[in-house]
Amino acid sequence: MSTRKNSKKKNKRPSSAQRQPGRSRKPEYSASQRSAQNGSARVSWISGARLRTLPLAIAPVVIGASAASLVDKFSWLLTALCLVVTLCLQIGVNYANDYSDGVRGTDAHRVGPGRLTGSGSAKPRSVLIVALSFFAVAVLAGLAITVITQIWWLPAAGLVCLAAAWFYTGGKRPYGYMGLGELSVFVFFGLVATAGTMFVQAGTVSDEAWLGGAGIGFIACAVLVINNARDIETDRLSGKRTLATRMGRRGSVVFYIVLMVLAMAVAAVIALFYSNAWLVQFAWLIVAPACLIASTSKTPAEDILVLRLSTVTGLLYGLGLGAAIAF
């Protein structure tokens, strides 16, 4: 009798994880993250603004303003207005994404930091109104820049920026759902923000501004890559085809590392002409651990740590390059 029982135990069918050792395991989440998903945890408006992303809006303005100082065209007023534009666009985009993803149902499968709309912490209409309010402030700041500089085609460029901000996750065919979010971030929060800040002050864009814009654009792009890599499983469930869902976790991590290395390489190129820019290479003390954590991450908490390290890198990168160029 005992022999039969033992034989049954030995012939017990292996679990699905044992049968498919190569299959990726879904990430583990904390109770607080699960509660944020199902709406039992309230999300504050400050949390909805995603303040950790704001350094990526500050850095390109610093670099662009510093580049303008090279030709003695620096203006505190125009720099402040450019900063208002980028910060309000960034916050507006964050709230607009919260609204669009929430009403579309994308956040129904979300497991991670809660969203205002998806968690039921705020009415969709309220989130939309706040998003549009920040866009409106950005428009007013842009119009002030236009009046001061008398560059009358700037509102047209501003409309393109607003359209890019809204249709990232808004509209019937959001381009963020088609794997184009990273390209948009590189262009608008890298090249356009940096070059635009210099242009409205100096009427021209120097090589320093283009290079610096590309560098901070790479970091901003890397932040979005690792953010979407964290959400691969839930984005696939909701039909959100980000670049990360197409590349997979491993490909996304490799892409993240490549982008961070490219950013540091750009800083090294600038350092060939501005010796103080070599100090930016100390950012490797943050970049290297971030890349290591990203490559070994097993939980959303580790990915969030990578996000924080990356945004801090972006701020230090902008301040470091800006100081090196200006002084």
CATH architecture, domain defined by 45-326: Orthogonal Bundle (1.10)
Tokens of 70: 């090279």
Q: Contact at 8 Å (CB) between 133 and 89? A: no
**pLDDT score recorded for residue 21:** 40
pLDDT exceeds 70 at position 299: yes
- CA dihedral sign of residues 184, 303, 268, 85: positive
pLDDT exceeds 80 at position 218: yes
Q: Contact at 8 Å (CB) between 256 and 225? A: yes
The residue type found at 295 is S
Task: Give the residue-averaged pLDDT of 222-232.
Answer: 92
pLDDT exceeds 60 at position 323: yes
Tell me, what DSSP letter sits at residue 192?
I
pLDDT exceeds 50 at position 3: no
pLDDT exceeds 60 at position 35: no
- Quick one: what percent of the chain has pLDDT higher than 90? 68
**pLDDT score recorded for residue 115:** 82
Residue whose structure tokens are 């709309």: 117
Please state, as a whole number, how many other Cβ atoms lie within 10 Å of the Cβ of residue 207.
11
Q: Contact at 8 Å (CB) between 68 and 323? A: no
Question: What are φ and ψ of residue 135, in 5° steps?
Answer: -60, -40
Distance separating alpha carbons of residues 137 and 250, to the nearest angstrom: 40
Residue whose structure tokens are 């190569």: 22
Three-class secondary structure assignment of 202-240: HCCCCHHHHHHHHHHHHHHHHHHHHHHHHCHHHHHHHCC
Task: Give the residue-averaged pLDDT of 263-269.
Answer: 98
Mean pLDDT of the chain: 87
Tell me, what DSSP letter sits at residue 28?
P
pLDDT exceeds 70 at position 139: yes
Please state, as a whole number, how many other Cβ atoms lie within 10 Å of the Cβ of residue 126.
15
pLDDT exceeds 50 at position 311: yes
User: 51 versus 81: which is more confidently predicted?
Assistant: 81
Q: Contact at 8 Å (CB) between 218 and 256? A: no
pLDDT exceeds 70 at position 157: yes
Task: Please enumerate in sequence order all residues whose Cβ is within 8 A of that of 177, keeping only pairs 6 or more positions apart, or say none.
Answer: 169, 239, 240, 241, 242
User: 176 versus 213: which is more confidently predicted?
Assistant: 213
Tokens of 259: 């982008």
